[in-house]
Amino acid sequence: MIREFAGEWWGLLWRFGRLMSVGVMGRAGRHQIRRMSYDIGFRRSRGRLFRVSPQEVFPADLEVSIRETAGEPWNVKLEELLVLNALVRQVRPSALFEFGTFDGRTTLNLAINAPEDAKVYTIDLKPAGPTSAFVVGSRFQGTEQARKIVQLYGNTLSFDFSPYVNGMDFVFIDAAHEYANVLSDSRNAINLLRDGKGLIVWHDYEAWPGVTAAIEQLVREDPRFAETRHIAGTTLAFLWRR
């Protein structure tokens, strides 16, 4: 037993050392380090949004479906995925828009928990080529839910959102985490809401400085975002306009 534990300990130490050295050269590694820092309680500053428990947002006994439970460093954590799925079940959106597809793990879960006739629109940068570190949308490709998903490509700073304006009930923002990108994505997101009503959810609030700063500026300066809240125990912030 001691030998087995020692092997696991050395393996973990080696992976941690690699992450803290070579890993900082890549965005995925830096993202993982930030998430680890957040999880152990180290953060540059605590966010200022009003916190609510998940039970204050949706019923505790709400049933959800979940797929692809194993995640990569850039994916939402499992407990956050459960919260997202519950929010989708609560809202029952007919049209959803996701900023940042990555490997499609969250996209797949949004589609599974949305009504049968719902559509999920998701956008990411066009793959650079066969040398890309991941395949955009790979987790939902070939699944039954793929028929409900529309993959879009482009930079959200310059993408033409006009065909989707005033047509969405649920928007999830998890694309580029830089301050300017989050500001732009958030303003586009609120214009996507049908008649100005619906749910916007952000990932990595408090865990990523650019995300935190952008959301809090919007709350201070734009009355449309005034009711934005932070779901305690997660890095999810949300705005539910009804």
| Nearest-angstrom CA–CA distance, 2 and 161 | 58
Asked whether residue 194 falls in the same domain as residue 154, the answer is yes
Q: Tokens 């037993």 map to which residue?
A: 1
pLDDT of 213 higher than 90:
yes
pLDDT for position 38: 46
| Nearest-angstrom CA–CA distance, 51 and 58 | 14
Asked whether residue 51 falls in the same domain as residue 36, the answer is no
Q: What is the pLDDT of residues 88-142, one digit of tens each?
A: 999 999 999 999 999 999 999 999 999 999 999 999 999 876 555 679 999 999 9
Asked whether residue 28 falls in the same domain as residue 68, the answer is no
Asked whether residue 203 falls in the same domain as residue 118, the answer is yes
Asked whether residue 5 falls in the same domain as residue 105, the answer is no
Average pLDDT over residues 213-224: 98
* CATH value at residue 184: 3.40.50.150
Long-range contacts of 151-158 (CB under 8 A, 24+ apart): 151/101, 151/122, 151/124, 152/121, 152/122, 152/123, 152/124, 153/123, 153/124, 153/125, 153/126, 154/123, 154/125, 154/126, 155/125, 156/99, 156/123, 156/181, 156/184, 156/185, 156/188, 157/181, 157/184
Asked whether residue 161 falls in the same domain as residue 112, the answer is yes
Mean pLDDT of the chain: 87
Asked whether residue 87 falls in the same domain as residue 180, the answer is yes
- The tokens describing 87, both together, are 């929010």
Question: Of 131, 133, 240, whose CA–CA distance to 190 is shortest?
Answer: 240
Average pLDDT over residues 212-232: 98
pLDDT of 28 higher than 70:
no
The answer to whether 137 and 103 are in contact (CB under 8 A) is yes
Domain that holds residue 25: 1-42
pLDDT for position 42: 46
pLDDT of 194 higher than 90:
yes
Average pLDDT over residues 54-82: 92
**Where residue 47 falls among pLDDT bands split at 50, 70, 90?**
confident
| Nearest-angstrom CA–CA distance, 160 and 174 | 18
pLDDT for position 20: 62
HEC profile for 60-77? CCCCCCCCCCCCCCCCCC
Average pLDDT over residues 154-159: 98
More confident residue, 14 or 69: 69
Q: How many domains does the chain have?
A: 2
71-85, 125-139, 151-165, 166-180: least confident range: 125-139
